[in-house]
Amino acid sequence: MSVAIPLEAYLRAQRAIGRKLLVPYITGGLPGWEHALRAAASAGADAIEIGIPFSDPVMDGPVIQQASQLALEAGATPISILRQARDLDVGIPLVVMTYYNTVHHAGHERFAQELEAAGISAAIVPDLPLEESGPWCLAADGAGIETVMLAAPTAPDHRLPLICARSRGFVYSVGLLGVTGERTTLAATATSLAARLKAITDVPVLVGVGVSNAEQAVEAVQVADGVVQGASVVRRLLEHGAEAVAEYVAEVRAALDHVPA
């Protein structure tokens, strides 16, 4: 059974030895997802996001929407995914990403306890902004679950310190105006927001949404501490299976390892 590895402490330690952080996202409940997750961990991920699929994922583009729908059609539930996560034991922190109704429906305390029992270290809830996050954060803090907050390019300067102060694990720096999905180039907002965050916080800053390949990951970590890779990973899992995920994560890992500290 997995033992939760504290996310922020782990990421800070990795950063301290000069490593750029790589966090792939995998939709839980997709056929073969556990195999893909283990492969990604072996290929050099520093933590992994497990998506618990929701019927109405408003922050997600076509690839993760499709993955969510397939997982739901395959019968995935929060309980089945967490039960499977319990046995992963991959030696790196696991983070759950899901929409707020999944949390709300289970109940804050119960959901936090279920994550804790499954060896999950942290949670990302993309439709739960700072102003609404109080009750969940209280329950999560109580269960030792770190809540990663998102910061977006639209945030005025006075808002960012509030987000950083409430974020545990890392700060999720949203790379662009838009939903998850691959883009041909890294948006200028990816590095500009990461720079604004790095200037005000010591919590690791990871860029996610629209970081689409190794080259863009390298570009993002010129400023940020690391990247989250979602659609580019999930698309490979959908099209080619777990081995393609391993190859891709290894490729991004190698590229990040060649970035001078």
Partner 1 sequence: MTLMAEPSATGRFGEFGGRFVPETLVPACQELEAAFREAWADVAFRDELGSLSREFAGRPSILTECRNLGAKLGIRLILKREDLNHTGSHKINNVLGQTLLAKRMGKTRIVAETGAGQHGVASATAAALFGLDCKVYMGAVDVERQELNVFRMRLLGAEVEAVHSGSRTLKDAVNEAMRDWVATVGDTHYCLGSVMGPHPYPWMVREFHRVIGDEARQQSRERYGCDPDVVVACVGGGSNAMGIFSGFVDLPVRLVGVEPAGGAAVGRGVPGVVHGMRSYLMQDEYGQVQEAHSISAGLDYPGVGPEHSYLASIGRAEYPAVNDAEVIEAFQLLARAEGIIPALECAHALAWIVREAPNMQGKYVMMNLSGRGDKDVAQMMEILG
Contact indicator for 194, 211 with CB cutoff of 8 Å:
no
Is 215 catalytic? The answer is no
Is 203 or 246 the residue whose CB approaches partner 1 more closely? Answer: 203
Is 84 or 102 the residue whose CB approaches partner 1 more closely? Answer: 102
Contact indicator for 86, 207 with CB cutoff of 8 Å:
no
Question: What are the beta bridge partners of residue 205?
Answer: 171
Helix (H, G, I), strand (E, B) or coil at 166: helix
Element (H, E) at 165: helix 160-166
DSSP-assigned states of every residue in 84-125: HHTTT--SS-EEEE--HHHHHHH-HHHHHHHHHHTT--EEE-
Is 155 or 250 the residue whose CB approaches partner 1 more closely? Answer: 155
Which positions touch partner 1 (CB under 8 A)? 54-59, 61, 65, 69, 72, 77-79, 100-102, 104-106, 126-132, 149-156, 159, 163, 174, 176-179
CB of 37 to partner 1, least distance (A): 21
Q: Point out the catalytic residue in the list 34, 46, 49, 182.
A: 49
Q: Point out the catalytic residue in the list 8, 34, 60, 225.
A: 60
Give CA 52 to chain center in angstroms.
12
Is 44 or 78 the residue whose CB approaches partner 1 more closely? Answer: 78
Is 60 catalytic? The answer is yes
CB of 10 to partner 1, least distance (A): 24
Task: Tell me the catalytic residues.
Answer: 49, 60
